[in-house]
Amino acid sequence: MQTSPLGFLRIKVIALPTLDIERAHTFYRDTLSLAPAFEGDTHVGYFLGQTILMLKTNWYAPPSDKLNPRITIATEHAPDTEKALRERGVSIPDPVQPYDDFYVGSFLDSEGNKLWFCSPVKK
């Protein structure tokens, strides 16, 4: 697979808000028969191919019939991606920080949509 000059690899996560986490687990696990996804020992959602549908409770946006998921792009090395984005004049509202085993940051597209990006913290 050829990567982009910014190190983008694939969509890693689409985060979805939920009001009732157990009901959401029943739907994704039992109704859709998706395999569970974990980050470390934490069950974070379900796999759809290589993409994680991450279930978020108490999130900034409630569930809606309007499109409101959070999309996270996997990168080769998030700190390098942030540097390359800044060099291109892209706005970085959330600079890269380590969260558990991942570097995570965000950027705004030309329309003001926030896209997240991440990479594993190399140990």
Are 56 and 68 within 8 A, CB to CB? no
Give the residue from 57, 66, 65 showing the smallest Cα distance to 16. 57
Q: How many independent structural domains does the chain possess? A: 1
pLDDT greater at residue 64 or residue 116: 116
Q: What is the pLDDT of residue 67?
A: 72
1 domain-assigned: no
- Among 51-55, 62-66, 78-82, 118-122, where is mean pLDDT lowest? 62-66
Domain containing 16 equals: 8-120
List pLDDT tens digits, range 104-120: 999 998 868 788 999 99
2 domain-assigned: no
3 domain-assigned: no
pTM, rounded to two decimals: 0.78
For the segment 44-72, the average pLDDT, to the nearest whole number, is 88
63 domain-assigned: yes
Residue 78 is part of a domain; what is its CATH number? 3.10.180.10
